[in-house]
A = this chain, B = another copy of it.
Amino acid sequence: MTLKKSTGIVIIGGTACGPKASARARRCDPRAKITLIEQTEEISTATCGMPYYISGVISKRATMLQRNSAYFKNVFDIDVLTGTRAMHIDRKSHTVELMTVRDGQSSKIKYDKLVLATGSLPAIPNLPGKDLKGIVTLSRLTDADTIHGLVTTKGFNNVVVVGAGLIGMEMAEAFSTKGLKVTVIEALDRVLPALLDSEIAFHIEKHLKQKGVNVVTGQRVTGFEGNNKGWVKAVKTADQKIEADIVLLALGVKPNISIASEAGITIGQLGGIVVDETMQTNDPDIYAGGDCVENINLLTRQPMLAPMGSTANKHGRVIGTNVTGGKETFPGIVGTAIAKVFDYNVGRTGLTEASAIADGYEVITSLVPGSEHASYYPESRDILVKLIVDKNDDTILGGQVVGTGDVAKRVDVLAAALTFGYDVSDLANLDLAYAPPYNSALDPLHHAANVIRNQRSGLARPLTAAEVKRKLDNSDDFILLDVRSPEEYKTVRINASQTRLLPLPELRSRIDELPKDAEIVVYCKTSVRAYQAQRILSGAGYKNVAFLSGSISAWPYDVSMDWKSPLGRLK
Protein backbone atom coordinates (compact mmCIF):
# COMPACT_ATOMS: atom_id res chain seq x y z
CA MET A 1 0.00 0.00 0.00
CA THR A 2 1.39 3.39 -0.94
CA LEU A 3 0.30 6.59 0.69
CA LYS A 4 -0.32 9.63 -1.41
CA LYS A 5 2.45 12.15 -0.84
CA SER A 6 1.56 15.73 -0.08
CA THR A 7 4.05 18.19 1.44
CA GLY A 8 7.70 17.64 0.53
CA ILE A 9 9.96 18.01 3.53
CA VAL A 10 13.71 17.98 3.06
CA ILE A 11 15.98 17.75 6.07
CA ILE A 12 19.72 18.38 5.85
CA GLY A 13 21.73 16.65 8.56
CA GLY A 14 21.40 13.14 9.98
CA THR A 15 22.88 13.18 13.48
CA ALA A 16 20.36 14.24 16.13
CA CYS A 17 18.01 17.10 15.26
CA GLY A 18 17.54 15.91 11.67
CA PRO A 19 16.46 12.34 12.42
CA LYS A 20 14.28 13.54 15.29
CA ALA A 21 12.60 16.20 13.12
CA SER A 22 11.98 13.74 10.32
CA ALA A 23 10.53 11.00 12.53
CA ARG A 24 8.34 13.52 14.33
CA ALA A 25 7.17 14.96 11.02
CA ARG A 26 6.14 11.49 9.92
CA ARG A 27 4.21 10.86 13.11
CA CYS A 28 2.40 14.17 12.62
CA ASP A 29 1.74 13.73 8.92
CA PRO A 30 1.35 10.25 7.44
CA ARG A 31 1.36 11.57 3.89
CA ALA A 32 4.27 14.01 3.67
CA LYS A 33 7.20 13.10 1.41
CA ILE A 34 10.19 13.27 3.71
CA THR A 35 13.83 13.11 2.67
CA LEU A 36 16.79 13.14 5.03
CA ILE A 37 20.17 14.19 3.57
CA GLU A 38 23.39 13.14 5.31
CA GLN A 39 26.90 13.58 3.98
CA THR A 40 28.47 10.68 5.90
CA GLU A 41 27.43 7.07 5.46
CA GLU A 42 25.65 6.83 8.79
CA ILE A 43 22.70 8.51 10.50
CA SER A 44 21.46 8.67 14.10
CA THR A 45 24.95 8.27 15.49
CA ALA A 46 25.44 8.50 19.25
CA THR A 47 28.09 11.19 18.98
CA CYS A 48 27.91 12.05 22.68
CA GLY A 49 29.07 8.51 23.36
CA MET A 50 32.27 8.83 21.32
CA PRO A 51 34.66 9.39 24.25
CA TYR A 52 33.31 6.18 25.81
CA TYR A 53 33.66 4.26 22.58
CA ILE A 54 37.28 5.41 22.38
CA SER A 55 37.97 4.55 26.03
CA GLY A 56 36.44 1.10 25.63
CA VAL A 57 33.61 1.66 28.11
CA ILE A 58 31.35 1.12 25.10
CA SER A 59 32.92 -1.93 23.53
CA LYS A 60 31.09 -2.30 20.23
CA ARG A 61 31.00 0.27 17.45
CA ALA A 62 27.53 -0.97 16.49
CA THR A 63 26.27 0.41 19.81
CA MET A 64 27.00 3.88 18.48
CA LEU A 65 24.52 3.47 15.64
CA GLN A 66 21.00 3.88 16.87
CA ARG A 67 18.91 3.53 13.70
CA ASN A 68 19.89 3.00 10.08
CA SER A 69 18.51 4.10 6.74
CA ALA A 70 16.55 0.87 6.26
CA TYR A 71 14.81 1.40 9.59
CA PHE A 72 13.95 4.94 8.56
CA LYS A 73 12.52 3.68 5.30
CA ASN A 74 10.62 0.72 6.69
CA VAL A 75 9.28 2.27 9.85
CA PHE A 76 9.03 5.96 9.03
CA ASP A 77 8.74 5.82 5.24
CA ILE A 78 11.53 8.38 5.06
CA ASP A 79 14.02 8.42 2.20
CA VAL A 80 17.53 8.75 3.57
CA LEU A 81 20.25 9.87 1.20
CA THR A 82 23.55 9.12 2.93
CA GLY A 83 26.90 10.05 1.41
CA THR A 84 25.14 13.05 -0.04
CA ARG A 85 26.10 16.64 0.52
CA ALA A 86 23.73 19.60 0.27
CA MET A 87 25.63 22.16 -1.81
CA HIS A 88 23.27 25.05 -2.39
CA ILE A 89 19.79 26.22 -1.56
CA ASP A 90 17.73 28.06 -4.16
CA ARG A 91 15.03 29.62 -2.02
CA LYS A 92 13.15 31.03 -4.99
CA SER A 93 12.65 27.69 -6.71
CA HIS A 94 12.51 25.81 -3.39
CA THR A 95 15.32 23.55 -4.51
CA VAL A 96 18.41 22.11 -2.85
CA GLU A 97 21.37 21.13 -4.99
CA LEU A 98 22.93 17.85 -3.89
CA MET A 99 26.20 16.11 -4.64
CA THR A 100 27.21 12.56 -3.85
CA VAL A 101 30.40 12.50 -1.78
CA ARG A 102 31.82 9.39 -3.43
CA ASP A 103 31.56 10.35 -7.12
CA GLY A 104 30.55 13.99 -7.20
CA GLN A 105 27.28 13.42 -9.03
CA SER A 106 24.87 16.34 -8.81
CA SER A 107 21.13 16.31 -8.43
CA LYS A 108 18.35 18.54 -7.20
CA ILE A 109 15.55 18.05 -4.76
CA LYS A 110 12.46 20.21 -4.36
CA TYR A 111 11.09 21.14 -0.97
CA ASP A 112 7.98 22.71 0.44
CA LYS A 113 9.63 22.92 3.85
CA LEU A 114 13.37 22.73 4.39
CA VAL A 115 15.08 21.88 7.68
CA LEU A 116 18.69 22.83 8.35
CA ALA A 117 20.21 20.51 10.92
CA THR A 118 23.74 21.01 9.70
CA GLY A 119 25.36 20.81 13.11
CA SER A 120 28.69 22.26 14.02
CA LEU A 121 32.32 22.12 12.98
CA PRO A 122 35.26 21.84 15.33
CA ALA A 123 37.18 25.08 15.74
CA ILE A 124 40.67 24.70 14.27
CA PRO A 125 43.22 27.38 15.11
CA ASN A 126 45.36 28.63 12.27
CA LEU A 127 48.70 27.58 13.78
CA PRO A 128 51.93 26.39 12.19
CA GLY A 129 51.92 22.63 11.83
CA LYS A 130 48.16 22.20 12.25
CA ASP A 131 47.98 19.83 9.28
CA LEU A 132 50.48 17.31 10.66
CA LYS A 133 49.34 13.72 10.90
CA GLY A 134 48.22 12.75 14.40
CA ILE A 135 46.44 16.08 14.96
CA VAL A 136 42.78 15.22 15.19
CA THR A 137 39.40 16.60 16.11
CA LEU A 138 36.37 14.73 17.43
CA SER A 139 33.13 15.69 15.80
CA ARG A 140 31.81 12.75 13.81
CA LEU A 141 31.86 9.02 14.32
CA THR A 142 34.51 8.73 11.61
CA ASP A 143 36.75 10.94 13.79
CA ALA A 144 36.13 8.56 16.67
CA ASP A 145 37.14 5.68 14.41
CA THR A 146 40.40 7.47 13.59
CA ILE A 147 41.21 8.13 17.24
CA HIS A 148 40.11 4.63 18.23
CA GLY A 149 42.64 3.34 15.71
CA LEU A 150 45.44 5.52 17.01
CA VAL A 151 45.00 4.69 20.70
CA THR A 152 44.99 0.97 19.98
CA THR A 153 48.18 1.19 17.89
CA LYS A 154 51.59 0.69 19.47
CA GLY A 155 53.92 3.65 19.64
CA PHE A 156 51.32 6.28 20.41
CA ASN A 157 52.12 7.10 24.00
CA ASN A 158 51.78 10.82 24.55
CA VAL A 159 48.68 12.80 23.84
CA VAL A 160 48.07 16.50 24.17
CA VAL A 161 44.50 17.71 24.45
CA VAL A 162 44.28 21.35 23.41
CA GLY A 163 41.34 22.95 25.18
CA ALA A 164 39.81 22.02 28.53
CA GLY A 165 36.14 22.16 27.55
CA LEU A 166 33.68 19.27 27.89
CA ILE A 167 35.16 17.20 25.05
CA GLY A 168 38.67 17.95 26.31
CA MET A 169 37.79 16.69 29.78
CA GLU A 170 35.97 13.57 28.60
CA MET A 171 38.78 12.76 26.20
CA ALA A 172 41.50 13.33 28.81
CA GLU A 173 39.86 10.54 30.76
CA ALA A 174 39.38 8.37 27.67
CA PHE A 175 43.03 8.66 26.59
CA SER A 176 44.20 8.06 30.13
CA THR A 177 41.98 4.98 30.42
CA LYS A 178 43.72 3.63 27.32
CA GLY A 179 47.07 4.01 29.08
CA LEU A 180 48.34 7.12 27.32
CA LYS A 181 50.19 9.94 29.07
CA VAL A 182 47.87 12.92 28.80
CA THR A 183 48.54 16.66 28.91
CA VAL A 184 45.67 19.14 28.76
CA ILE A 185 46.56 22.68 27.65
CA GLU A 186 44.10 25.48 28.30
CA ALA A 187 44.70 29.13 27.40
CA LEU A 188 42.52 30.42 30.24
CA ASP A 189 43.31 30.10 33.94
CA ARG A 190 41.19 27.03 34.63
CA VAL A 191 39.60 23.95 33.14
CA LEU A 192 36.03 24.17 31.81
CA PRO A 193 36.41 27.96 31.86
CA ALA A 194 33.18 28.71 30.01
CA LEU A 195 31.18 26.53 32.35
CA LEU A 196 32.68 26.86 35.83
CA ASP A 197 33.96 29.46 38.23
CA SER A 198 37.48 28.98 39.55
CA GLU A 199 36.65 27.50 42.93
CA ILE A 200 34.79 24.63 41.28
CA ALA A 201 37.12 24.26 38.30
CA PHE A 202 40.15 24.02 40.59
CA HIS A 203 38.70 20.84 42.11
CA ILE A 204 38.49 19.23 38.68
CA GLU A 205 42.06 20.29 37.97
CA LYS A 206 43.23 18.79 41.28
CA HIS A 207 41.43 15.55 40.46
CA LEU A 208 42.91 15.38 36.95
CA LYS A 209 46.36 15.74 38.46
CA GLN A 210 45.60 12.99 41.01
CA LYS A 211 44.76 10.80 38.04
CA GLY A 212 48.11 11.52 36.42
CA VAL A 213 46.95 14.06 33.87
CA ASN A 214 49.33 16.96 33.27
CA VAL A 215 47.20 20.11 33.34
CA VAL A 216 48.68 23.28 31.85
CA THR A 217 46.48 26.35 32.25
CA GLY A 218 47.09 29.94 31.23
CA GLN A 219 49.21 28.93 28.24
CA ARG A 220 48.24 29.31 24.63
CA VAL A 221 49.41 26.82 22.02
CA THR A 222 51.66 28.57 19.47
CA GLY A 223 52.26 25.71 17.06
CA PHE A 224 53.07 22.06 16.41
CA GLU A 225 56.33 20.32 15.53
CA GLY A 226 56.44 17.29 13.28
CA ASN A 227 58.85 14.47 12.57
CA ASN A 228 60.26 13.56 9.18
CA LYS A 229 57.29 11.33 8.42
CA GLY A 230 54.88 14.20 8.73
CA TRP A 231 53.53 13.14 12.14
CA VAL A 232 53.19 15.53 15.02
CA LYS A 233 55.85 15.13 17.71
CA ALA A 234 55.37 18.15 19.98
CA VAL A 235 53.02 20.96 20.93
CA LYS A 236 54.56 24.37 21.60
CA THR A 237 53.41 27.12 23.91
CA ALA A 238 55.25 30.36 24.67
CA ASP A 239 56.72 28.66 27.75
CA GLN A 240 57.35 25.06 26.81
CA LYS A 241 57.32 22.25 24.33
CA ILE A 242 55.33 19.13 25.14
CA GLU A 243 55.91 15.79 23.44
CA ALA A 244 52.89 14.47 21.59
CA ASP A 245 52.16 11.50 19.37
CA ILE A 246 48.51 12.50 19.18
CA VAL A 247 47.03 15.98 19.50
CA LEU A 248 43.31 16.41 20.01
CA LEU A 249 42.09 19.89 19.14
CA ALA A 250 39.17 20.38 21.51
CA LEU A 251 38.69 24.11 21.19
CA GLY A 252 34.97 24.02 20.90
CA VAL A 253 32.74 24.02 17.87
CA LYS A 254 31.18 26.64 15.65
CA PRO A 255 27.83 26.42 13.91
CA ASN A 256 28.03 24.92 10.43
CA ILE A 257 26.15 27.63 8.58
CA SER A 258 27.85 28.08 5.20
CA ILE A 259 24.96 26.70 3.13
CA ALA A 260 22.46 28.77 5.14
CA SER A 261 24.52 31.93 5.00
CA GLU A 262 25.09 31.65 1.28
CA ALA A 263 21.33 31.33 0.79
CA GLY A 264 20.67 34.54 2.68
CA ILE A 265 19.44 32.97 5.89
CA THR A 266 20.03 35.35 8.80
CA ILE A 267 23.09 34.53 10.90
CA GLY A 268 23.32 35.99 14.40
CA GLN A 269 26.09 37.79 16.20
CA LEU A 270 27.41 34.53 17.66
CA GLY A 271 27.64 32.89 14.25
CA GLY A 272 24.58 30.66 14.48
CA ILE A 273 21.41 30.63 12.43
CA VAL A 274 18.76 32.90 13.94
CA VAL A 275 15.42 31.20 14.57
CA ASP A 276 12.25 32.25 16.31
CA GLU A 277 10.44 30.25 18.99
CA THR A 278 8.99 27.95 16.33
CA MET A 279 12.53 27.25 15.04
CA GLN A 280 11.69 29.11 11.83
CA THR A 281 14.45 31.11 10.10
CA ASN A 282 13.88 34.41 8.29
CA ASP A 283 12.53 32.28 5.41
CA PRO A 284 9.11 30.95 6.47
CA ASP A 285 9.73 27.73 4.55
CA ILE A 286 13.07 27.05 6.18
CA TYR A 287 13.49 25.82 9.74
CA ALA A 288 16.71 25.12 11.58
CA GLY A 289 17.74 23.34 14.76
CA GLY A 290 20.56 21.64 16.60
CA ASP A 291 24.13 22.87 16.88
CA CYS A 292 23.81 25.24 13.89
CA VAL A 293 21.35 27.64 15.57
CA GLU A 294 21.53 30.22 18.32
CA ASN A 295 19.38 29.59 21.38
CA ILE A 296 17.84 32.09 23.74
CA ASN A 297 19.26 32.03 27.24
CA LEU A 298 16.14 32.19 29.41
CA LEU A 299 17.97 34.08 32.16
CA THR A 300 19.58 36.82 30.12
CA ARG A 301 17.16 36.68 27.17
CA GLN A 302 20.30 36.95 25.04
CA PRO A 303 21.32 34.52 22.30
CA MET A 304 23.78 31.80 23.18
CA LEU A 305 25.38 28.81 21.51
CA ALA A 306 24.80 25.52 23.27
CA PRO A 307 25.73 22.56 21.11
CA MET A 308 24.02 19.77 23.07
CA GLY A 309 22.36 16.59 21.92
CA SER A 310 19.58 17.19 24.41
CA THR A 311 18.72 20.58 22.94
CA ALA A 312 19.04 19.26 19.38
CA ASN A 313 16.46 16.58 20.13
CA LYS A 314 14.04 19.11 21.57
CA HIS A 315 14.53 21.32 18.52
CA GLY A 316 13.83 18.32 16.29
CA ARG A 317 10.48 17.64 17.85
CA VAL A 318 9.36 21.27 17.55
CA ILE A 319 10.48 21.42 13.93
CA GLY A 320 8.79 18.12 13.03
CA THR A 321 5.54 19.47 14.43
CA ASN A 322 5.78 22.84 12.73
CA VAL A 323 6.83 21.72 9.24
CA THR A 324 3.71 19.55 9.13
CA GLY A 325 1.37 22.37 10.00
CA GLY A 326 1.37 22.12 13.78
CA LYS A 327 2.33 24.79 16.23
CA GLU A 328 4.90 24.17 18.90
CA THR A 329 7.50 26.43 20.44
CA PHE A 330 10.92 26.05 22.00
CA PRO A 331 11.39 28.79 24.59
CA GLY A 332 15.14 28.48 25.15
CA ILE A 333 17.73 27.03 27.46
CA VAL A 334 19.53 27.79 30.69
CA GLY A 335 22.92 26.37 29.76
CA THR A 336 22.79 23.12 31.70
CA ALA A 337 25.76 20.81 31.22
CA ILE A 338 27.31 17.83 32.95
CA ALA A 339 30.43 15.73 32.52
CA LYS A 340 32.14 12.76 34.07
CA VAL A 341 35.82 13.50 34.67
CA PHE A 342 37.34 10.30 36.06
CA ASP A 343 35.71 9.74 39.48
CA TYR A 344 34.24 13.22 39.62
CA ASN A 345 30.90 14.32 38.34
CA VAL A 346 30.64 17.98 37.51
CA GLY A 347 27.58 19.87 36.37
CA ARG A 348 26.31 23.38 36.05
CA THR A 349 23.28 25.39 35.02
CA GLY A 350 22.44 29.05 34.49
CA LEU A 351 25.08 31.71 34.82
CA THR A 352 28.49 31.41 36.43
CA GLU A 353 29.43 34.09 38.90
CA ALA A 354 31.88 35.43 36.34
CA SER A 355 29.35 35.53 33.51
CA ALA A 356 26.63 36.98 35.74
CA ILE A 357 28.92 39.85 36.71
CA ALA A 358 29.88 40.33 33.07
CA ASP A 359 26.16 40.53 32.28
CA GLY A 360 25.76 43.32 34.81
CA TYR A 361 24.28 41.41 37.74
CA GLU A 362 25.25 42.09 41.31
CA VAL A 363 25.56 38.64 42.85
CA ILE A 364 25.79 36.88 46.15
CA THR A 365 27.09 33.32 46.28
CA SER A 366 27.40 30.36 48.60
CA LEU A 367 29.70 27.37 48.54
CA VAL A 368 28.44 24.36 50.45
CA PRO A 369 30.00 20.91 50.84
CA GLY A 370 27.52 18.16 51.50
CA SER A 371 26.79 14.46 51.37
CA GLU A 372 24.77 12.97 48.56
CA HIS A 373 22.60 11.19 51.11
CA ALA A 374 22.27 10.81 54.88
CA SER A 375 25.80 10.61 56.15
CA TYR A 376 24.83 7.82 58.57
CA TYR A 377 23.64 5.64 55.70
CA PRO A 378 26.56 3.75 54.12
CA GLU A 379 28.48 4.94 51.08
CA SER A 380 27.42 8.54 51.06
CA ARG A 381 29.77 10.35 48.73
CA ASP A 382 30.63 14.03 48.76
CA ILE A 383 29.49 16.91 46.62
CA LEU A 384 30.24 20.62 46.64
CA VAL A 385 27.55 23.10 45.61
CA LYS A 386 28.08 26.66 44.46
CA LEU A 387 24.96 28.79 44.22
CA ILE A 388 24.85 32.15 42.44
CA VAL A 389 22.03 34.51 43.32
CA ASP A 390 20.92 37.96 42.18
CA LYS A 391 21.70 40.36 45.02
CA ASN A 392 18.76 42.58 44.17
CA ASP A 393 15.91 40.11 44.40
CA ASP A 394 17.41 36.82 45.61
CA THR A 395 16.58 35.11 42.32
CA ILE A 396 18.72 32.08 41.56
CA LEU A 397 20.99 32.79 38.61
CA GLY A 398 23.10 29.67 38.48
CA GLY A 399 24.67 26.73 40.19
CA GLN A 400 27.64 24.43 39.92
CA VAL A 401 28.07 21.06 41.59
CA VAL A 402 31.15 18.85 41.70
CA GLY A 403 32.16 15.69 43.53
CA THR A 404 32.07 11.93 43.59
CA GLY A 405 28.44 11.97 44.73
CA ASP A 406 25.15 12.50 42.95
CA VAL A 407 25.73 15.76 41.10
CA ALA A 408 23.19 15.27 38.31
CA LYS A 409 20.18 15.39 40.62
CA ARG A 410 21.16 18.71 42.15
CA VAL A 411 21.95 20.26 38.78
CA ASP A 412 18.61 19.16 37.37
CA VAL A 413 16.69 20.50 40.36
CA LEU A 414 18.54 23.80 40.04
CA ALA A 415 17.80 23.92 36.32
CA ALA A 416 14.10 23.44 37.04
CA ALA A 417 14.25 26.05 39.79
CA LEU A 418 16.04 28.80 37.91
CA THR A 419 14.13 28.29 34.68
CA PHE A 420 11.09 29.57 36.52
CA GLY A 421 12.69 32.28 38.57
CA TYR A 422 12.84 30.60 41.97
CA ASP A 423 14.41 32.70 44.68
CA VAL A 424 16.51 31.30 47.51
CA SER A 425 13.53 30.97 49.86
CA ASP A 426 11.66 28.93 47.28
CA LEU A 427 14.67 26.66 46.98
CA ALA A 428 15.21 26.46 50.74
CA ASN A 429 11.63 25.27 51.25
CA LEU A 430 11.40 22.97 48.25
CA ASP A 431 9.81 19.64 49.16
CA LEU A 432 12.52 17.28 47.88
CA ALA A 433 12.41 13.53 48.32
CA TYR A 434 13.93 12.36 51.58
CA ALA A 435 14.86 8.92 52.82
CA PRO A 436 18.32 8.00 54.11
CA PRO A 437 19.44 6.08 50.97
CA TYR A 438 18.69 9.11 48.79
CA ASN A 439 19.27 12.30 50.69
CA SER A 440 19.70 14.00 54.02
CA ALA A 441 16.70 15.61 55.68
CA LEU A 442 17.97 18.82 54.14
CA ASP A 443 19.53 18.59 50.69
CA PRO A 444 22.84 20.38 50.04
CA LEU A 445 20.75 22.70 47.83
CA HIS A 446 18.64 23.63 50.84
CA HIS A 447 21.82 24.41 52.77
CA ALA A 448 23.23 26.43 49.88
CA ALA A 449 20.05 28.51 49.78
CA ASN A 450 20.06 28.93 53.57
CA VAL A 451 23.68 30.08 53.58
CA ILE A 452 22.66 32.85 51.18
CA ARG A 453 19.73 33.73 53.44
CA ASN A 454 22.07 33.79 56.43
CA GLN A 455 24.33 36.21 54.61
CA ARG A 456 21.40 38.40 53.65
CA SER A 457 20.20 38.60 57.25
CA GLY A 458 23.69 39.42 58.48
CA LEU A 459 24.11 36.22 60.47
CA ALA A 460 26.73 34.58 58.27
CA ARG A 461 29.96 36.24 57.21
CA PRO A 462 31.74 33.96 54.78
CA LEU A 463 35.09 34.64 53.15
CA THR A 464 35.98 32.80 49.96
CA ALA A 465 38.97 30.51 49.74
CA ALA A 466 40.54 32.99 47.31
CA GLU A 467 40.15 35.81 49.84
CA VAL A 468 41.67 33.72 52.63
CA LYS A 469 44.47 32.54 50.37
CA ARG A 470 45.23 36.18 49.52
CA LYS A 471 45.44 37.02 53.21
CA LEU A 472 47.81 34.12 53.77
CA ASP A 473 49.90 35.07 50.74
CA ASN A 474 50.08 38.64 52.09
CA SER A 475 51.08 37.32 55.55
CA ASP A 476 48.16 39.25 57.05
CA ASP A 477 47.96 39.38 60.80
CA PHE A 478 44.84 37.36 61.63
CA ILE A 479 43.84 34.13 63.38
CA LEU A 480 42.87 31.26 61.12
CA LEU A 481 40.84 29.38 63.69
CA ASP A 482 40.42 25.63 63.16
CA VAL A 483 37.45 24.47 65.27
CA ARG A 484 37.66 20.79 64.39
CA SER A 485 38.88 18.03 66.67
CA PRO A 486 42.60 17.54 67.32
CA GLU A 487 42.37 14.25 65.34
CA GLU A 488 41.01 16.00 62.28
CA TYR A 489 43.56 18.75 62.67
CA LYS A 490 46.38 16.19 62.69
CA THR A 491 45.19 14.55 59.49
CA VAL A 492 44.92 17.59 57.26
CA ARG A 493 44.78 21.32 57.86
CA ILE A 494 45.51 24.68 56.32
CA ASN A 495 49.02 24.79 57.61
CA ALA A 496 49.85 28.46 58.09
CA SER A 497 51.49 30.40 60.88
CA GLN A 498 48.12 32.05 61.44
CA THR A 499 46.41 28.70 62.08
CA ARG A 500 45.21 27.95 65.60
CA LEU A 501 43.24 24.96 66.90
CA LEU A 502 40.32 25.43 69.26
CA PRO A 503 37.72 22.66 68.97
CA LEU A 504 34.17 23.97 68.78
CA PRO A 505 32.93 22.24 71.96
CA GLU A 506 35.64 24.14 73.92
CA LEU A 507 35.11 27.51 72.27
CA ARG A 508 32.61 28.93 74.74
CA SER A 509 34.69 27.95 77.79
CA ARG A 510 38.00 29.11 76.31
CA ILE A 511 36.72 32.11 74.38
CA ASP A 512 38.78 34.58 76.46
CA GLU A 513 41.95 33.05 74.98
CA LEU A 514 41.07 34.83 71.76
CA PRO A 515 41.95 38.55 71.68
CA LYS A 516 38.74 40.53 71.32
CA ASP A 517 40.20 42.86 68.69
CA ALA A 518 41.78 40.14 66.55
CA GLU A 519 40.62 39.44 63.05
CA ILE A 520 39.44 35.83 63.11
CA VAL A 521 38.61 33.56 60.20
CA VAL A 522 37.14 30.24 61.32
CA TYR A 523 37.24 27.00 59.39
CA CYS A 524 36.26 23.38 59.96
CA LYS A 525 35.53 20.55 57.54
CA THR A 526 32.39 21.76 55.78
CA SER A 527 31.68 25.19 57.37
CA VAL A 528 28.87 23.96 59.61
CA ARG A 529 30.98 24.18 62.77
CA ALA A 530 32.86 27.24 61.49
CA TYR A 531 29.62 29.13 60.97
CA GLN A 532 28.48 28.09 64.43
CA ALA A 533 31.79 29.34 65.86
CA GLN A 534 31.38 32.61 64.00
CA ARG A 535 27.94 33.02 65.58
CA ILE A 536 29.38 32.31 69.04
CA LEU A 537 32.18 34.83 68.54
CA SER A 538 29.89 37.46 67.02
CA GLY A 539 27.46 36.93 69.87
CA ALA A 540 30.27 37.41 72.37
CA GLY A 541 31.13 40.77 70.88
CA TYR A 542 33.97 39.88 68.50
CA LYS A 543 33.59 42.37 65.68
CA ASN A 544 35.96 41.08 63.04
CA VAL A 545 34.98 37.45 62.57
CA ALA A 546 34.24 35.49 59.43
CA PHE A 547 34.29 31.85 58.36
CA LEU A 548 35.95 30.20 55.41
CA SER A 549 33.23 29.41 52.89
CA GLY A 550 33.09 25.64 52.40
CA SER A 551 36.09 25.23 54.71
CA ILE A 552 38.58 22.40 54.12
CA SER A 553 36.15 20.47 51.90
CA ALA A 554 35.94 23.31 49.41
CA TRP A 555 39.55 24.53 49.73
CA PRO A 556 40.88 24.23 46.20
CA TYR A 557 44.55 24.89 46.99
CA ASP A 558 47.19 22.64 48.42
CA VAL A 559 46.92 21.82 52.08
CA SER A 560 50.01 20.60 53.83
CA MET A 561 49.83 17.31 55.59
CA ASP A 562 52.25 17.12 58.43
CA TRP A 563 51.88 14.33 60.94
CA LYS A 564 54.93 15.22 62.95
CA SER A 565 54.56 18.90 63.70
CA PRO A 566 53.20 19.81 67.13
CA LEU A 567 49.56 20.78 67.24
CA GLY A 568 48.99 24.47 66.89
CA ARG A 569 48.22 26.14 70.19
CA LEU A 570 46.63 29.48 70.90
CA LYS A 571 49.23 31.97 72.02
Contacts and interface: CB of A to CB of B under 8 A. Distances in A.
Interface of A: 1, 3, 16, 26-28, 30-31, 46, 48-49, 52, 57-58, 63-64, 66, 70-71, 74-77, 166, 170, 298, 308-314, 317, 326, 328-331, 333-340, 345, 347, 349, 374, 376-378, 406, 408-409, 411-413, 415-417, 419-420, 422, 425-426, 428-439, 441-442, 446, 450, 457, 459, 504-509, 511-512, 531-532, 535-536, 538-540
B376 A58 contact: yes
A441 B309 contact: yes
Nearest to A64: B376
A64 B374 CA distance: 11
A441 B58 contact: no
Nearest to A314: B429
B439 A408 contact: yes
Given A48-B434, A432-B310, A504-B75, A539 B337 contact: no
Contact of A338 (B58, B309, B433): B433
Contacts of A52: 377, 436-437
Contacts of A411: 433
Contacts of A313: 441-442
A419 to B, nearest CB: 6
A302 to B, nearest CB: 15
16 contacts: A1-B512, A1-B540, A3-B540, A16-B441, A28-B459, A30-B539, A46-B436, A48-B374, A63-B376, A74-B505, A170-B435, A309-B441, A335-B431, A340-B437, A345-B437, A347-B438
Contacts of A308: 434
Contacts of A377: 49, 52, 57-58
A15 to B, nearest CB: 11
Given A378-B57, A412-B432, A432-B310, A508 B49 contact: no
Contacts of A504: 74-75
B532 A374 contact: no
B74 A442 contact: no
* This chain: copies in complex: 2
Most chain B CB within 10 A, of A26, A330, A430, A459, is at A430
A480 to B, nearest CB: 20
A507 B412 CA distance: 39
Given A376-B64, A408-B438, A30 B540 contact: yes
A415 B438 contact: no
Contacts of A536: 30, 75
Contacts of A512: 1
A428 B419 CA distance: 13
Contact of A74 (B347, B459, B508): B508
A512 to B, nearest CB: 6
A296 to B, nearest CB: 11
Contacts of A511: 1
Contacts of A450: 317
Contacts of A415: 430-433
Given A313-B442, A413-B416, A435 B1 contact: no
Contact of A535 (B16, B27, B64): B27
A57 B28 CA distance: 51
A430 B419 contact: yes
B46 A376 contact: yes
Most chain B CB within 10 A, of A27, A70, A328, A435, is at A435
Contacts of A538: 30
Contacts of A441: 16, 48, 309-310, 312-313
A536 to B, nearest CB: 7
Contact of A340 (B312, B409, B435): B435
A438 B308 CA distance: 14
B435 A339 contact: yes
Nearest to A77: B508
A148 to B, nearest CB: 15
A49 B419 contact: no
A38 to B, nearest CB: 18
Contact of A48 (B417, B429, B436, B507): B436
A244 to B, nearest CB: 26
A430 B416 contact: yes
A146 to B, nearest CB: 20
B432 A336 contact: yes
Contacts of A57: 377-378
Contacts of A30: 535-536, 538-540
Contacts of A326: 457
A310 B26 contact: no
A53 to B, nearest CB: 9
A349 B434 CA distance: 11
Contacts of A425: 328-329
Given A378-B57, A538-B30, A434 B310 contact: yes
A431 B329 CA distance: 14
B64 A431 contact: no
A250 B339 CA distance: 42
Contact of A539 (B31, B66, B314, B413): B31
Given A376-B46, A378-B58, A442 B409 contact: no
A120 B428 CA distance: 24
Contacts of A329: 425
A67 to B, nearest CB: 11
A346 to B, nearest CB: 10
